[in-house]
Amino acid sequence: MPRVLDALSVARGAARVCVLSLAWCAVMPAQAGGWLLASPEPRVAPGQSFELIVIGSPPEGQWPARLPAQVELPDGGPRIAVDLVPVGAVGPMQQRYVGQWPSEVVGMATLSLLESPSARLIFDSAAALRTPLKSAQRQDVADAGTVTQQGRSDAPLAPAALSFHEPMYFVVGGSDPKSARYQISFRYRLFDDQGVVAESLPLVRGLYFGFTQTSLWDLSSDSKPFRDTSFRPSLFYQWKLSDPSDGNSAALAAGYEHESNGRDGDKSRSIDTFFARIDARYYLPNGRTYVGVEPKVWSYIDKEDNPDITDYRGYAQLGLRLGSDDGLMLAAILRRGKAGVGSSQLDLSYPLRQSVFSGVGAFAHLQYFNGYGETLLDYNVSHGPQFRIGVSIVR
């Protein structure tokens, strides 16, 4: 009986190899000059080794000693660099490679090769999973999973319900007076794809609630009070204007935003606006560095507490970004009011940790602000150039 079982196991293994080979042959004409990816284990563990199989024709008959790859987060999120190294040949046109999955990436994500962007594979990262490499080494290569190509999958990745919204940082410095400035921000996707409401009304899947709080903390005065705090809740809808798996990305968000400093009397400040914002990213040939452009326009519903705020803040701002998610990043926010004055903010950051999840990690952060309205209370006041240094966890 054991011999019969062994024979059946061999037959199953041979059948799987045949299926994988047929899949390779079927896509070979469309992948001329490119590679495909397969995996014995589609699940990976954060911070642990994982294995995949590269299928194709190696250049000059020699597989590279190092394959640069990247992990792409859903919904057009950041790209994280990963290096793959060979651990043994599977066949004349198949090679095993291993790498280390970023420790902060949990959930569904796509891995692609920089030298062959069409070679892509979806992995599911679970914190409680055993080390995938040990599991993969105990299985025959015939157990290799589904081959994906051209960035397509039968199970598209859905954006996480709770995610970052705007940068989150804590920086210290400035003058007149010396102060600390910090910001926290998040957004929540109100309906998931499988919910009763979303299945009945698919349009609600793009509806988000956002919240951002920015505070300026006076460190020079005796009681060290918070000079001002702005609260910005928002309700908006987001559309994808392009498929992030194609490389470059663009998204449009539009909705309602309230901003208030939560104070009364002469120090009360608040505005209500309808806004529209585009977030577009163009990746340079290295696949990691990108140029981001984020224009935002708004119209005022109510500005009774500060009727002349349009002279200093205007009706639009321009956001710019240049850098990579796993390296140096320079960001700018530029505003100009009707009176010809405005503000400029520059943020330069560099990761203190090797990998990041959705732009989240630990970053050394240098911030420069100059102009009017560093806080909502001082929308019509300029304190001159302010330099601060600190850390950020979202940039």
Q: Is residue 327 predicted with pLDDT exceeding 80?
A: yes
Would you state the pLDDT for residue 365? 97
246 class by beta-carbon count within 10 Å (0-12 exposed, 13-18 middle, 19+ buried): exposed
Of the pLDDT bands very low, low, confident and very high (cuts 50, 70, 90), residue 147 is very low
Instruction: Name the percent of the chain lying above pLDDT 70.
Output: 78
Question: What is the distance between the alpha carbons of residues 370 and 343, in angstroms, rounded to a whole number?
Answer: 6
Closest by alpha carbon to 79, among 287, 330, 280? 287
* Helix locations, 242-394, DSSP H: 310-313
Biggest CA-to-CA distance, the chain: 90
Beta carbons of 95 and 53 less than 8 angstroms apart: yes
112-125 pLDDT per residue, tens: 888 777 788 888 88
Would you state the pLDDT for residue 236? 97
Would you state the pLDDT for residue 141? 33
Would you state the pLDDT for residue 376? 94
The two structure tokens encoding residue 359: 């732009």
CB atoms within 10 A of CB 260: 17
Q: Is residue 38 predicted with pLDDT exceeding 60?
A: yes
Q: Is residue 205 predicted with pLDDT exceeding 70?
A: yes
Mean pLDDT (whole number) for 187-210 = 83
Question: What is the distance between the alpha carbons of residues 86 and 99, in angstroms, rounded to a whole number?
Answer: 9
Following DSSP, what letter does each residue of 352-378 receive, concatenated? SSS--BTTEEEEEEEEEEEEB-SSSTT
Mean pLDDT (whole number) for 21-49 = 62
Per-residue buried b or exposed e for 156-168, using 16+ beta carbons within 10 Å of the residue's own CB:
ebebbeebbbbbb
Order of strands across the sheet that contains 36-38: 36-38, 49-55, 94-100, 79-91, 67-72, 107-113, 116-125, 43-44
151-194 pLDDT per residue, tens: 333 344 456 678 889 999 999 998 878 999 999 999 998 987 76
Of the pLDDT bands very low, low, confident and very high (cuts 50, 70, 90), residue 27 is very low
Mean pLDDT (whole number) for 293-318 = 96
Give the phi and the psi of residue 6 in degrees, each rounded to 5. Answer: -60, -40
The chain-wide mean pLDDT, for the chain, equals 80
Better-predicted residue by pLDDT, 256 or 156: 256
Of the pLDDT bands very low, low, confident and very high (cuts 50, 70, 90), residue 315 is very high
Q: Is residue 245 predicted with pLDDT exceeding 80?
A: no
List domains and CATH numbers for the chain.
2-143 (2.60.40.10), 162-394 (2.40.230.10)
Would you state the pLDDT for residue 204? 84
279-304 pLDDT per residue, tens: 999 989 887 899 999 999 999 999 99
Better-predicted residue by pLDDT, 292 or 61: 292
64-111 pLDDT per residue, tens: 888 888 888 776 667 888 889 988 887 778 888 999 888 778 778 888
Mean pLDDT (whole number) for 119-139 = 57
Would you state the pLDDT for residue 355? 52
Mean pLDDT (whole number) for 204-222 = 92
Would you state the pLDDT for residue 242? 80
260-274 pLDDT per residue, tens: 999 988 899 999 999
289: left (phi over 0), alpha (psi -120 to 50) or beta: beta
- The one-character DSSP state at 96 is E
Would you state the pLDDT for residue 91? 73
Beta carbons of 240 and 270 less than 8 angstroms apart: no
368-384 pLDDT per residue, tens: 999 999 999 999 999 88
334-364 pLDDT per residue, tens: 999 999 999 999 999 998 875 544 456 789 9
Beta carbons of 231 and 213 less than 8 angstroms apart: yes
